[in-house]
Structure formats: C-alpha cells, structure tokens
Chain A
Amino acid sequence: MNSSDLSRLWNDARIRRIAIQVILVALVVFCFWWLISNTSQNLDKLNKSIGFDFLSQNAGFQIAPTLGTWLFSYEVGQSTYWDVYLIGIINTLLVAVLGIIAATVIGFLVGIMRLSNNIIFRSFATVYIELLRNIPLLLQLFFWYFTVLRSLPDKRGKVDLIPGAVSVNLEGLFLPFPIWHSGAGFAGIILLIAAISALYMRAKSRSKQLMTGHPLAIWRITAGIFAAACLMIVVSVGIPMEWSQPTFIETGPILKQGFDKATAIMIIPEMLAVWFALTLYTAAFIAENVRSGILAVSKGQTEAANALGLSTGQTLRLIVIPQAMRVIVPPLTSQYLNLTKNSSLAVAIAYPELVSIFAGTAMNQVGKEIEMFFMMMVVYLTFSLLTSAFMNWFNHRSKLVER
C-alpha cells in the first residue's frame, strides 16, 4: 500500500465513517474497562471483594413496625439483609403510591380552584401553590413531623378521632382491622359477580345512549344489583366480617401502657409526616400543571358547551378536563417520578424506607457500598421506568383523536 492508496482511503467518505465509528466504540469500551479495572484494583487494596453473599446474612438490628416489616414478618436474628432490602422497597413503594394518589386529587382540586371565579378559592389556591412550591421539601418534612409530634399526647394518652375505632397519639394512628369469618370467601364471590354485572349494565347503558340518546337509569340499576347481592349474603351466611376493637391499656407497667398493638393497625407518625409532606409539596406542582392544561383548552370549547346548556361542572368534567389531559399528563409523569425519588428524604425523620435501612443501617454493618448502591439504583430505575411506561400508555389513550 503506497501513500496514494492511503490518501484514497482517507478520502473515501464511507470508510472514513466506519473508521470513526470503530474508534468511538473502542474509546467507550476503553473507558468502561478503565473504570472497572481501577475500581477493582482499589477495592483489592482495601482488602474488599465484590459479591452479594452478604444478602443471606442475618440482620442484627430492629426496624420500626411498618407495612414492610409486617408483610415479611421481620424478626431480628432470623431475617436477612435480603429481607431488609425488600422491606425498604415496600416502604418506599407505599409512600410513593399513597403520595401519588393524594397529590393527584389535591393537585387537581387546587389547580381548578386556581382558575375559579370565586376570589376566595382563587386566592387560597394561589397562596397554597406559592407557599408550598417555594419552601424546600426537607424543611416541610421536618415541619410536619415535629408539628405532628408536638401536637399529640404521648403513648399513654390518646385523641379519639372516631371513638372506639380510630385514635391517634405519639406512637401513631391506630385503626381497627377487619376480621374475616367463614363465609367471607362466598361473600367475596357474590360481590365480584355483582360488580361485573354492574359494569356490564353500564356498558349497555352507554351503547343505548349512543343508539337512542337516552341512557338507562344506571345509578338505580347499580344500587339494585348491590342491594340484592348484600341481601343474598346476609340471608345465607350472615355478616361474615367484623372490625377489631383497638384496646387501650391504662394499667400495669408504665411502658406497656398505651394501645395493644395486636388489636389495631398502627401507622407510625414518621410515615404520616412523609406522606403529608410529599403529597402537599407535589400537589402544588401538579396544580400548576393542571392550570396550564386547562388554559390550553380553547375558550371556544367552554363557550360552545355553555351554549349547549351544560352546567359548569359538566363543562369541566365532559369537555375541558378530557381535552386538558393531553397537556397535563406528560409533566404529571415527571411529578410522579419526582415524588418517588423525593421519598428518599424520609431518612431524615426515621421512616424506614430503602435509603434509610438499606443504604444507612445495613450498609454501615456490611460495608458493600458498590453492590448496595447498584441494587438501589436498580429499584429506583425500575420504579421510574414502570411509572413512565404506564403514563405513556395513558397519554396515548388521552391523546386528541383527529379525524
């Protein structure tokens, strides 16, 4: 190959492009190799190895009672670090899901209020949004947590929200739980059948409305179906369920006084504070998304609806919101993702979610930083991708169908 061959190669656009691609790939591979070899070298120096063996070791520390510890019946000395990981995931998911639901409801309400003609509603919404959006979430978390703590009696006292059923004190919110009797399965099946037939009637009513313009009296039909189902259950098996009676112990050893945890569901105040803070903070952002979505619907739509004689509520529900959804949903997705990721701030106020118990307590005991952070990144990535996938599907559904 002489120099003119070489210059011909250089001047051949196709070969040049291939060469660039090959070199780029080589560079990327080199970077990764360098990163990984450097890390493993440094770990060697510290006498550390990479491995996931620690997951089967027993965890020697206590975790505050939450949904996760209940689901996996966590017990010190019996449960492993893998259980700790799962408990962390469940607790993170719990606040994320509850937060998303509550933030959506409050966000929509406040967003609509922000555009209301009523000055009280409108100014309330404005103040709410500007206040909560502009204060750092961590501060709000502390505010709610210590407000909740400071305003409640300690565990030897209580405030009854619904006497005999729902009470609250510093240990948490106590709720009764359902106790199922025999026949509960049968009742469940009957109710399921009732629900399916109600849905069927609803579909039928809709098709009738499309055909004739007159729907069936769907609410009356649904009520009838369920009344019949309930009657059937009561007649055949009685009421197959009762609520537990939360018992409050006022005598005996002072540390054993308070609610008997075997008789109630306990929701710890850390969980309530995290939920409050995440919900109210995210709702402020969602409210702004909703407002922008509604404003994006042309005013002609509302005027046309008014001209047809629809009420304000109907206009909002049937005309404006469905069209606003396609503007609301994409930013709503990122708010949901933010809420899930922000839940990791809960470590500051002792709510045992993933970052707190897995990256905090467990990591300090076993010292496997790389493996544990990798496992956590997998969790948050999975949550986020699943949320995105669902919201993309929903977005696709609510897109404007153009003919």
Chain B
Amino acid sequence: MKNLPLIVIVLVIGGGLGYFLGGGNEQAVEQEAAMETSSESTLEAVKAKGYVQCGVSQGLPGFSNADDNGNWTGIDVDLCRGVAAAVFGDADKVRFTPLSAKQRFTALSSGEIDILSRNTTWTMTRDTQLGLNFAGVNYYDGQGMMVPSSLGVTSATELDGANICTNTGTTTELNITDYFRANNMSFELVAFEKADEVVAAYDAGRCDVYTTDRSGLAAQRTKLTNPDAHFVLPEIISKEPLGPVVRQGDDQWFNIVRWSLNAMINAEELGVTQSNVGSMMGSDNPSIKRLLGEEGNFGEELGLSNDWAANLIKAVGNYGESYDAHVTPLGLARGVNALWSDGGILYAAPIR
C-alpha cells in the first residue's frame, strides 16, 4: 500500500472539487426553485399553507404589540387579520413574525413573510431599489419631539442649545440635524443603538428632548416613570407615511392587500361597522351593496369570494374602529388620519 497517502490526497481533493461543482449545481437548482415559487402566486401559496404570515414590529403599542399570552393587537395587526379574513373568512388564520428594523425587508423579499405590516415608512428608495411595493398608507406619521413639561418650552423653535436623545441608524438623526440647521439653532445629539436605552437616558434627564416618530413617542411615553410630566411638541419635522408592504411582481397579492386596506377605510366612510355589518347587508345604498358583495363580483376579480370585505369588517371592524381601539388609548387624536370628509387626508379609492 505504498500509494495509500496519494490515494487519500486524490480523494480529498476530488471531494473538494466535487463540493464546489456540486455547490454550483445546487445554486442552479435553488434559482430554479425560486423561479418556481415566484411563478406560483402568493395567494395560492397562502391558501395552500392555510394561513397568512405577517411581519410585525417587536412591540410598539398601538401598532403591533403582543400581550402576556402572545396575542397580537394594533392597527398593523388588524390589517393582517383583515387580509386573513378576506382570504379565508377567518381572521385567526394568520401568524406573526416579530422583526427588527434591520431584518424587515430581507424577511419580506426572501419569502419568509407574505405581508410586512410594521410601521414602515414609504420612501422612494424603498419602493424602487428594494424590490418591494407599498400597498397604501394606514397611518400618516411624522417625526416629533417630546420634552419634560418642567422646561416650560411650548414650541420646537425654543429648543436652541438642547441635548437630544435618539436612535442611531434611522432617518431620525438626519431629520433632526436638518431641522436645527435650517432654524440656525445649536444642539447636541446622544444617539443610542436601541430604543430602550434612549427612553432610559431621557428618563434619567440626560437629554432635554427625545425625538422619533410621533406615534413612537406616544407609545414610548407610557414607559417613562412619570408619563404625565412630558409632552409632545406641536411641530412635525418630517413626513413618515406608514403602510403595508408586499413583494414586487405579484400584482394579485398586491391588490388584495391594497383593497383590504381600502375596504376598511371605505367601510368607515359608509358607516359600516363590525356590529352593524349584518344589518347593512340589506342596505339600499349601492356603494354599501358593492362593498359587501351584494352587487357586482369585486371579490371574485381579486381571486377571493364576493363576501371578502364583509368577512373582513366582521373580523376587525372598519378603520375608525381599529384606530379607536388601539391608537386612541395612546393619546393620539385622529388628526390628519381622519377621513377626508372629516378634515383629514384619509381618502380611499372607491369600490366600483
């Protein structure tokens, strides 16, 4: 067996090469598989597995927050439950994946989730460069500032010389810097990696101001030692339209999510609520007839049943009900998020 070492070496090297070549083949197979899944529509995939997989936040009261028993609530959660009700007629056929800001887009584009409903700001970069589509806006937010009432400050223009606490790695740092430069005011920024430390440092008095999205401020304020001793300044220094996101390239699924949101907003406008949806079935109003599937075949055109919107409203209620149940308790008035007919900017395309 003089040749034994040689044989061993040849085997090892051959195996190594084989691994790499095999790796190449595996890649090709994976690509084919990916093409196959993309040719199978999201709706078919969702129906096949029997539930909607929904990406949510790791805990933002009012938007998506889990209680002690693991039940998720919030307006972002209601949207996912609404889509599940529209697809299956059962709002409980949904599973939630809590995601960090960093993970969220990767989770969606890799197919781990079907909808991303996680207080995500619609921006041009995200819409065009990440292979995603925003299906609408379910909350018009903006960056705001919170201060202790004891400072006696009533407007952001009085904040010259303030120390400001915020999170690193978001647009927040840039917005606040822009705002102070534009107003020719000086400030110092203390930027933490995680929201919990920002709250703790602000609570300890390290900063005069805490800045993030206004909905976030309202939610985080509940974690302060004495929430009533702080208030949010009236100024909004950026536009943050938050909405559900889906993968690009599946128009049917995109339409289902978009129109589920529209159905919730239209239902509020038409006065259809969770409790009266049954009696509304006999309404003479043609708009309500179309919404509830008594006229036309709008649901079938979406690839669903005609009573899709009725199921949705039965399960989660209209937009206003969802808002009142989850966001109003945070002390956030409807404001711009009121219906257009009530002086807000919420305006859903008609079902027609």
| B47 close to A (CB within 8 Å) | no
Instruction: Give Cα distance in the complex from A363 to B191, angstroms.
Output: 14
Are B191 and A361 in contact, with the CB atoms below 8 A? yes
| B181 close to A (CB within 8 Å) | yes
Instruction: Give Cα distance in the complex from A364 to B169, angstroms.
Output: 5
Are A20 and B9 in contact, with the CB atoms below 8 A? yes
Residues of chain B lying within 8 A (CB to CB) of residue A310: none
Are B169 and A23 in contact, with the CB atoms below 8 A? no
**Across the A-B interface, how many residue pairs have beta carbons closer than 8 Å?**
103
Residues facing B in A309-343 (CB within 8 A) are none
Are B158 and A76 in contact, with the CB atoms below 8 A? no
Instruction: Give Cα distance in the complex from A170 to B208, angstroms.
Output: 11
Residues of chain A lying within 8 A (CB to CB) of residue B188: 62, 64-65
Instruction: Give Cα distance in the complex from A76 to B178, angstroms.
Output: 9
Interface 1/0s, chain A 2-24, versus B by CB < 8 A?
00000000110000100010010
| A267 close to B (CB within 8 Å) | no
Are A64 and B189 in contact, with the CB atoms below 8 A? yes
| B192 close to A (CB within 8 Å) | yes
| A270 close to B (CB within 8 Å) | yes
| A34 close to B (CB within 8 Å) | yes
Interface 1/0s, chain B 165-200, versus A by CB < 8 A?
100111001101110110000011111111001001
Check A10/B3 contact, CB under 8 A, given A269-B206, A361-B168. Answer: yes
Main secondary structure on chain B at its contact with chain A?
mixed
| A179 close to B (CB within 8 Å) | no
Residues of chain B lying within 8 A (CB to CB) of residue A394: none
Instruction: Give Cα distance in the complex from A398 to B215, angstroms.
Output: 62
Check A62/B189 contact, CB under 8 A, given A150-B204, A255-B160. Answer: yes
Are A61 and B189 in contact, with the CB atoms below 8 A? yes
Residues facing B in A225-278 (CB within 8 A) are 253-256, 268-270
Question: Whose C-beta in chain B lies nearest to the C-beta of A365?
Answer: B174
Question: Whose C-beta in chain A lies nearest to the C-beta of B23?
Answer: A34
| A347 close to B (CB within 8 Å) | yes
Are B204 and A146 in contact, with the CB atoms below 8 A? yes
Question: Whose C-beta in chain A lies nearest to the C-beta of B10?
Answer: A23
Check A154/B205 contact, CB under 8 A, given A255-B159, A361-B168. Answer: yes
Chain A residues within 8 Å of chain B by Cβ, number:
43
What band does the interface of chain B fall in when counting residues whose beta carbon is under 8 Å from A? 35 or more
Residues of chain B lying within 8 A (CB to CB) of residue A30: 20
Instruction: Give Cα distance in the complex from A129 to B163, angstroms.
Output: 37
Instruction: Give Cα distance in the complex from A256 to B9, angstroms.
Output: 75
- Residue of A171, A254, A361 touching B173 (CB-CB under 8 A): A361
| B152 close to A (CB within 8 Å) | yes
| B2 close to A (CB within 8 Å) | yes
Check A60/B178 contact, CB under 8 A, given A149-B201, A356-B168. Answer: yes
Residues of chain A lying within 8 A (CB to CB) of residue B13: 23, 27
Residues of chain A lying within 8 A (CB to CB) of residue B333: none
Question: Whose C-beta in chain B lies nearest to the C-beta of A361?
Answer: B168
Interface 1/0s, chain A 50-61, versus B by CB < 8 A?
000000000011
Are B177 and A60 in contact, with the CB atoms below 8 A? yes
Interface 1/0s, chain B 114-125, versus A by CB < 8 A?
000000000000
Residues of chain A lying within 8 A (CB to CB) of residue B20: 30, 34
Residues of chain A lying within 8 A (CB to CB) of residue B160: 253, 255-256
Are A270 and B190 in contact, with the CB atoms below 8 A? yes
Are A60 and B161 in contact, with the CB atoms below 8 A? no
| B6 close to A (CB within 8 Å) | yes
Residues of chain B lying within 8 A (CB to CB) of residue A34: 20
Are A364 and B170 in contact, with the CB atoms below 8 A? yes
Residues of chain A lying within 8 A (CB to CB) of residue B9: 20, 23
Residues of chain A lying within 8 A (CB to CB) of residue B161: 253, 255-256
| B351 close to A (CB within 8 Å) | no
Interface 1/0s, chain A 32-45, versus B by CB < 8 A?
00100000000000
Q: Which residues on B are within 8 Å of A, measured CB to CB?
A: 2-3, 6, 9, 13, 16, 20, 129, 151-153, 158-163, 165, 168-170, 173-174, 176-178, 180-181, 187-194, 197, 200-201, 204-206, 208
Sample of 4 more A-B contacts, CB < 8 Å, known A10-B3, A61-B177, A356-B191: A62-B176, A364-B168, A364-B169, A364-B170
Q: Which residues on A are within 8 Å of B, measured CB to CB?
A: 10-11, 16, 20, 23, 27, 30, 34, 47, 60-65, 76-77, 142, 146, 149-150, 154-155, 170-171, 253-256, 268-270, 347-350, 352, 356, 360-361, 363-365
Closest CB pairs A-B (n = 7): A62-B189, A149-B204, A154-B205, A364-B169, A255-B161, A256-B161, A61-B173
